[in-house]
């Protein structure tokens, strides 16, 4: 489970369609675009739902075995439906790629909120919601989203959105949380570039 959570993203979704079920091998020459590693690094559209099913028996292990239950998927008690996972990644990716109207953050916020509803087990949509809340000076909402995201990142120990390393997402979550607590967010775009600077 840890190996799949760490390494699987949209590139594997394309080269192993229908995994773990049987699939007909596809020729590289015919599917050259799918073969280009690492692909767009979009989060997986189907692996987490499979992992949620694999994790469920762990919640039922006898305590006297001394094997800790991983904190993911509500301590291995929640199951993520494949359709919900697909909906969440689709909405998240629309927000990431700015495929939604950009005249106002409303459509992006709604898409990200829906992504969290469809898949509450990943941090990255919440981090984008925290950023939108900071931009709107909604400090409590920003702190809530950043805090929830930081907890989820800690539960997983790997990034869902593989475009950035897990440590980068953790650092960003902490910056967002601190900004919400200080009730301070840059008004001008260049100010965003210096958010990670340590004050002397």
pLDDT in tens, 141-192: 999 999 999 999 999 999 999 999 999 999 999 999 999 999 999 998 888 8
- Give the pLDDT confidence score for residue 81 in this predicted structure: 97
Q: Is the pLDDT of residue 18 over 80?
A: no
32-60: b (≥16 Cβ within 10 Å) or e:
eebeeeebeebbbbbbbbbbbeebeebee
For the full predicted model, state whether its pTM sits above 0.75: yes
| Domain layout of the chain by residue ranges | 2-194
| pLDDT higher than threshold 90 for residue 9 | no
């Amino acid at each position: 489970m840890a190996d799949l959570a760490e390494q699987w993203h949209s590139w594997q979704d394309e080269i192993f369609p229908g995994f773990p079920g049987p699939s007909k091998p596809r020729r590289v020459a015919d599917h050259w675009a799918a073969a280009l590693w690492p692909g767009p690094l979009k989060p997986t559209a189907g692996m987490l739902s499979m992992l949620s099913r694999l994790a469920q028996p762990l919640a039922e292990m006898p305590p006297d075995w001394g094997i800790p239950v991983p904190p993911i998927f509500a301590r291995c008690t929640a199951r993520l439906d494949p359709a919900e996972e697909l909906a969440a990644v689709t909405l998240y990716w629309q927000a990431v790629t700015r495929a939604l109207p950009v005249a106002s953050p409303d459509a992006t916020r709604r898409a990200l909120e829906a992504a969290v509803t469809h898949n509450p087990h990943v941090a990255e949509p919440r981090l984008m919601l925290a950023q939108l809340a900071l931009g709107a000076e909604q400090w409590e909402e920003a702190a809530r989203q950043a805090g929830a995201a930081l907890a989820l990142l800690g539960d997983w120990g790997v990034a869902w959105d593989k475009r950035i390393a897990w440590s980068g997402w953790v650092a960003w979550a902490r910056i967002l949380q601190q900004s919400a607590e200080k009730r301070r967010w840059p008004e001008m775009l260049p100010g965003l570039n210096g958010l990670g600077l340590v004050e002397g």
